Structure 1
Amino acid sequence: MQVKLFYKTQRELAVSLNEIVDAYWNDEINEDSLIKCVHDVYINNPNKMLKEGKFTTVLKQQCGKRRLEVIERIIRGGAEIRS
């Protein structure tokens, strides 16, 4: 799965995160790819994802609770990339 590392808007970022998580849920990518993609996107766009330690309103509206739970576990270190 090809993912951009830098996003212009929070809405574009949300669409990409949705695609990543949905691809994992549909067994199109494996767990390691999910973690790596979400981690890479977060490292390069932290201000578009979090404000004052919480997901931005745009991400909450566009991604939904279930996807954000997965994303939060990854960016908070709850899931590790296995080598």
Structure 2
Amino acid sequence: MEVKLFYRTQRHLASAVNQIVDSHWNDEISEQQMIEYIKALHENNPNKFVKGDRFTTIIQQQCGKRRLEIVRRILNIDY
């Protein structure tokens, strides 16, 4: 699985997050790979991921609660 590190829009970033989490759920990538991908996305796109103390609205709408709960745990975000 190939994942870009930098995304132009929040929608593209949300799509990548969905693809990564779904790939893990479908046993296509390991848990460790998922964690590495999510951390890399957050590190390289922090302003598109989180605004203030919350995920951006687009990320919330596109990814949904279940995926974001996993992302929240990976990134140790507490809110």
Q: Percent identity, aligned pairs only?
A: 55
Q: Which residue of 1 aligns with 2:63?
A: 63
Q: Cα RMSD between the aligned structures?
A: 0.9
Between structures 1 and 2, the one with greater helix share: 2
Give the letter aligned to residue 42 of structure 2: Y
Give ranges in structure 1 of 5+ residues lacking alignment: 78-83
Distance (Å, rounded) in 1 between the aligned partners of 2:13 and 2:32: 20
Distance (Å, rounded) in 1 between the aligned partners of 2:23 and 2:38: 12
Give ranges in structure 2 of 5+ residues lacking alignment: none
Count of residues in correspondence between the two structures: 77
Shift, 1:5, TM fit: 0.3
Shift, 1:76, TM fit: 1.4
Give the letter aligned to residue 9 of structure 2: T
Runs of 4+ in 1 over 2 A off after TM superposition: none
Q: Which residue of 2 aligns with 1:25?
A: 25
